[in-house]
């Protein structure tokens, strides 16, 4: 977990109004328990996933509009070429997909050299085992709990086995990486994910579909903390 042992919430702007991103990010930026820990930015290229969202120019504008650290989730081909510029621009965390590269360590090294934290994402059907030996080379492991591409999908609980395995490894070592989950996280699913050992929870529709996004952030974090406390 993080130093404070408090679960992190990363609202996904995929479910926000793309014409009002400054206001949408401000809705979860007030100091206090309604503040998001990271703002999750889903970059899709219509090749790696069958959807197209936004890219570096929008991220550069968002960086000027908010002081919340940006968590860029790159659902794109060729991350070796496209990922480091997000870190150079000032994104806090830059996550690329394991399925999009033959050399994740090389991509992670480039992201770190560009000043970012390096995240590795794995799709629901991608096994964890091949990546256990490179945990030292990444800062975040993003376990996808839906097929990447769209918000508002149903949570795939089977992926929690991967979370449990990596949580056990981290807790019995000096590794410092964060475990993040993305897809279908809401009031019905966040507790099981917290119990499995997730540090950071991405939530799109559960935050931006709520009447008050800030309150949704606070409520999800509290729910995760209570669930985590039950198993600790």
Q: Which is nearer to Zn ion, 153 or 169 (CB)?
A: 153
Residue 116 marked ligand-binding: no
Residue 110 annotated as catalytic: no
Contact positions with Zn ion (CB under 5 A) in 169-188: 182
3-state DSSP assignment of residue 222: helix
Q: How many residues bind Zn ion (CB under 5 A)?
A: 3
The residue from 24, 37, 42, 180 that contacts Zn ion (CB under 5 A) is: 42
Contact partner at residue 221 from Zn ion, ligand DX5, none, CB < 5 to 8 Å by partner kind: none
Q: How far is the CB of 3 from ligand DX5 (least distance, A)?
A: 25
**Are the C-beta atoms of 120 and 147 separated by less than 8 Å?**
no
12 vs 34 by CB, closer to ligand DX5: 12
Contact residues for 196 (Cβ-Cβ < 8 A; gap 6+): 160, 163, 164, 167
Of the residues 37, 71, 110, 182, only one is catalytic, namely 182
Q: How many CB atoms lie within 10 A of CB 125?
A: 11
Please tell me whether 184 is known to bind a ligand.
Answer: yes
Rg (the chain; Cα; Å): 16
Beta carbons within 8 Å of 146's beta carbon, 6+ residues apart? 124, 153, 154, 155, 156, 182, 183, 184
Least Å from the CB of residue 142 to Zn ion: 8
Q: Catalytic: 42?
A: yes
45 is in an annotated binding site: no
Q: Which two tokens stand for residue 111?
A: 């992201």
Give the residue among 119, 135, 137, 106 at the shortest CA–CA distance from 38.
Answer: 119
At its nearest, how many Å lie between Zn ion and the CB of residue 227? 22
Give contact residues for ligand DX5 (rule: CB under 6 A): 12, 14-15, 40, 42, 73, 146, 148-153, 182-185, 202-206
Cβ–Cβ under 8 Å, residues 186 and 205: yes
Residue 201 Cβ, how far from ligand DX5 at the closest point, in Å? 9
Q: Which of 53, 73, 64 is nearest to 146 (CA)?
A: 73
CA distance 23 to 59: 15
Per CB under 5 A, does 97 bind Zn ion?
no
Q: List, as residue ranges, the binding site for substrate.
A: 12, 73, 149-152, 182-184, 204-205
Contact residues for Zn ion, defined by CB under 5 A: 42, 73, 182
Q: List, as residue ranges, the binding site for a divalent metal cation.
A: 40, 42, 73, 182
């Amino acid at each position: 977990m993080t130093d404070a042992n408090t679960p992190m919430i990363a609202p996904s702007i995929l479910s926000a109004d793309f014409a009002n991103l400054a206001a949408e990010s401000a809705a979860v930026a007030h100091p206090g328990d309604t503040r998001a820990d990271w703002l999750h930015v889903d970059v899709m290229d219509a090749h790696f996933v069958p959807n197209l969202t936004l890219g570096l120019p929008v991220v550069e504008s968002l960086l000027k509009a908010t002081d919340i650290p940006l968590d860029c989730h790159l659902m794109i081909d060729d991350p070796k070429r496209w990922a480091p510029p997000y870190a150079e621009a000032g994104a806090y965390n830059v996550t690329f997909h394991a399925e999009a590269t033959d050399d994740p360590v090389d991509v992670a090294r480039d992201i770190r050299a560009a000043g970012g934290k390096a995240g590795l994402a794995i799709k629901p059907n991608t096994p964890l085992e091949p990546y256990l030996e490179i945990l030292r080379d990444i800062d975040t492991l993003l376990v996808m709990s839906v097929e990447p591409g769209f918000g508002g999908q149903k949570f795939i609980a089977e992926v929690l086995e991967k979370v449990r395995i990596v949580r056990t490894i981290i807790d019995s070592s000096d590794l410092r990486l964060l475990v993040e989950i993305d897809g279908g996280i809401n009031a019905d699913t966040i507790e099981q994910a917290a119990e499995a050992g997730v540090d950071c929870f991405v939530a799109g529709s559960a935050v931006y579909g709520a009447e008050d996004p800030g309150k949704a952030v606070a409520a999800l974090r509290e729910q995760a903390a209570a669930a985590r406390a039950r198993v600790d």
